[in-house]
Chain A
Amino acid sequence: MSILNIIKRLFGQEKSSPAQSSTPQPIEPTQASTPVEEVKDSIQTAMNEVTDNIIEAAEPNPTPNTNHEDYSMHHVIIGSGPAGVVAAESIRKLDPKAMITLIGDEPEPPYSRMAIPYFLEENITEEGSHLRKTDNHYDNKNINVVRDRVSSINPDDKTVTLESNDSLLNWDKLLIATGSHPISPPIPGLDNPKVSNCWTLEDSRKIVEGVKPGSVVVQIGAGFIGCIILESLVKRGAALTVVEMGDRMVPRMLDQQCGTMLKTWCENKGVTVLTSSQVNSIEDKGKRLLVSVSNGEPIEADFVISATGVRSNTAFLEGSGIKVDEGILVNRHLETNVPDIFAAGDVAQGLDFSTGEYTVQAIQPTASDHGLISSKNMVNPGSAIHQGAVLMNVLATLGLISVSYGLWEGVEGGESAELVDTDNFRYIRLQFDGDKIVGANTLGITQNIGAIRGLIQSKTALGVWKERLMENPLNFMDAYVGVTGGHT
């Protein structure tokens, strides 16, 4: 295969040739003089196409709305999380004359929920969680940040109703980036003031207030959020019991082996982990709470944290005509069924790169990607096509880092390669479809980890490296350099 063919392959031209795509071809050695840097460029370009998802439309510029004199268009963004903020900044970059309004309902400046565990650990101040650090960032970019809630969207007259004073706000293009909210499982007593979610900065202040050295804390849920805050709770001196419905920790991100090793790790650190278990009720006993669990003695606790997952914020869309399933249904331009209304982030049911299905991924990298792509289509209709987001998670649980990528549970007829070191809490399992990597789970492995994303998203045929990875999946970075550098 010549270098040009490799480039064609990276640019996805082989998609037009079914024979090629259905017959994985080993990569032959390229010219010995191929500088790896140049091949990296080609990977980068391919990745640009895949992740940035830019396909220039024939006519990228929309007819300017001539109703306004001072600005080209009014872009209204509901929600000031990563999706909303990235979109607002991108719109400003693409159209200096646009009017941009960013509506958020929390009192703080736009901040990142990803930073909350580190705030709870007191590694950072509240300001450390803010999405942007420059003074007057939004003013400088002429982005109007409004604190309010939108009670309804009225597509017919292109307005939204603001909750504070029932006033109407006009828009030309609307982005719904309202994120998600914690699920409240139907447990009697969950509304007790000594029970908190861990989702907003306000929640975390409540946890800081409620969890003191020696506090007995019950945490419902050992999912991503439940696990990532364990370190901070232990550092705060809490005596912890985690109650998880699944048969292992983080069952929606880690396979049996990995989730079970993580459970052992937590137990070794003094945390009680009840799996295949649930909280039946929370009873207020005055000073303390009595937490009944399905398999075990009731626990007298000082504080309960509920972290059982999140769901898209779509309730306010009722009657708007915008179609909602698990989240807001969007096409590959991130546009909803209603023209000029887009959705991004946790609220959007967008394309999954690996499955080809539309799902709510509710992860930070997808939120940023959605924000970028939707904004491009808001300014230049049809200019950006979403190629699908690769599901990816990285999680530190009491210092042990786990990662999941793509189809980490594997595919039918696919092979997998795994290495297990239970004593040292190291684990890797690569999932293959033919000679391509389609997913992975790792534990205790961080070095060069992003290369796995590169291999998944560029759909790189591994050639001779497939067998080598079957023997030792830890060599994924060697495989990556070997394949992209062509030095096999």
Chain B
Amino acid sequence: MQKSLYLDADKCTGCKQCELACSFERDGSFNPIKSSIQIFTFHEAGRFVPYTCTQCDDAWCMTACPVDAITINTATGAKEVNEATCVGCKVCTIACPFGTINYNTDTGKVTKCDLCGGDPQCVTACPTDAITYVEADATGFSRMKEWAAKTDNAQSAA
């Protein structure tokens, strides 16, 4: 069973250790702008929302790539950018409707979450379990539908 990242905004304290861990893993620097995971802060609501690539099945970045530079890692299911093949045309960055594949001006290539080859560093760094690496089913659409139905019932009962 392939695993995926499960991001639970309720548990996020906005400490941004995931961003530092990610940028260090990817870039060798502690620099949030180089991180593939981002924490969004909503001051009015007092909330922090971790956000990164969902490794979608029909990956727009992968379909849009004109030179076959984005491929699936069969072990992890991650869509990975092959830097040697990427020409830096950025078509994937405008095609991804989640905004989670970005152009790196230093390298002239695009960059995205690759699940660190199966050992995501953001998960290791997160002190509150807001980011966990779980069986893919747990983040799936079927689960959401169940949850949605529950919410709906609760409302009609009220």
**Contact call A392/B87, Cβ cutoff below 8 A:** no
Known: A2-B151, A451-B97. A112 touches B67 (CB 8 A): yes
Chain A interfacial residues counted at CB < 8 A: 70
Instruction: Point out residues on A near B: beta carbons under 8 Å.
Output: 2-4, 7, 29, 31-33, 35-45, 47-48, 51-52, 82, 86, 112, 114-115, 117-118, 123-124, 128-134, 364-365, 368-369, 372, 392-394, 396, 401, 403, 405, 446-454, 457-458, 477-478, 480-482, 485, 487-488
Is there a chain A Cβ closer than 8 Å to B9's Cβ? yes
Query: Complex Cα distance A48/B45, Å?
Result: 30
Most buried by A among B97, B98, B148, B155: B97
Query: Complex Cα distance A117/B8, Å?
Result: 42
* B137 neighbours in A (Cβ, 8 Å): none
Known: A35-B8, A44-B56, A481-B49. A128 touches B67 (CB 8 A): yes
Instruction: Point out residues on B near A: beta carbons under 8 Å.
Output: 5-10, 33, 38, 40, 42, 44-45, 47, 49-51, 54, 56, 58, 60, 63-64, 66-68, 85, 87-91, 93-103, 105, 108, 139-141, 143-145, 147-149, 151-152, 155
Query: Complex Cα distance A86/B68, Å?
Result: 11
**Contact call A451/B66, Cβ cutoff below 8 A:** no
* B8 neighbours in A (Cβ, 8 Å): 35, 37
- Measured CB to CB, the nearest residue on chain A to B33 is A447
**Contact call A115/B54, Cβ cutoff below 8 A:** no
**Contact call A37/B54, Cβ cutoff below 8 A:** yes
**Contact call B66/A131, Cβ cutoff below 8 A:** yes
Known: A37-B6, A128-B85. A2 touches B152 (CB 8 A): yes
Query: Complex Cα distance A129/B5, Å?
Result: 33
The distance from the CB of A467 to the nearest CB of chain B, in whole angstroms, is 13
Known: A36-B9, A40-B54, A450-B99. A114 touches B66 (CB 8 A): yes
- Measured CB to CB, the nearest residue on chain B to A40 is B54
Secondary structure of the B side of the interface? Answer: mixed
* A392 neighbours in B (Cβ, 8 Å): 94-95
Known: A32-B10, A35-B7. A115 touches B67 (CB 8 A): yes
The distance from the CB of B116 to the nearest CB of chain A, in whole angstroms, is 18
**Contact call B89/A478, Cβ cutoff below 8 A:** no
- Measured CB to CB, the nearest residue on chain A to B50 is A36
**Contact call A45/B141, Cβ cutoff below 8 A:** yes
By Cβ-Cβ distance, the 4 closest A-B pairs, closest first, are: A451-B99, A454-B97, A448-B99, A112-B66
* A134 neighbours in B (Cβ, 8 Å): 68
Known: A3-B148, A450-B101. A368 touches B9 (CB 8 A): no
**What would 12 A/B residue contacts be, using CB atoms closer than 8 Å?**
A36-B51, A37-B7, A38-B144, A51-B60, A112-B66, A128-B67, A128-B85, A446-B103, A449-B99, A449-B102, A481-B49, A481-B51
Query: Complex Cα distance A482/B45, Å?
Result: 10
Query: Complex Cα distance A480/B96, Å?
Result: 13
* B152 neighbours in A (Cβ, 8 Å): 2-4
**Contact call B90/A37, Cβ cutoff below 8 A:** no
* B60 neighbours in A (Cβ, 8 Å): 47, 51, 450
**Contact call A114/B97, Cβ cutoff below 8 A:** no
- Measured CB to CB, the nearest residue on chain B to A86 is B63
**Contact call B102/A7, Cβ cutoff below 8 A:** no
**Contact call B95/A453, Cβ cutoff below 8 A:** yes
Known: A37-B7, A392-B95, A451-B98. A4 touches B66 (CB 8 A): no
Most buried by B among A7, A132, A450: A450
Known: A41-B144, A118-B88. A365 touches B47 (CB 8 A): no
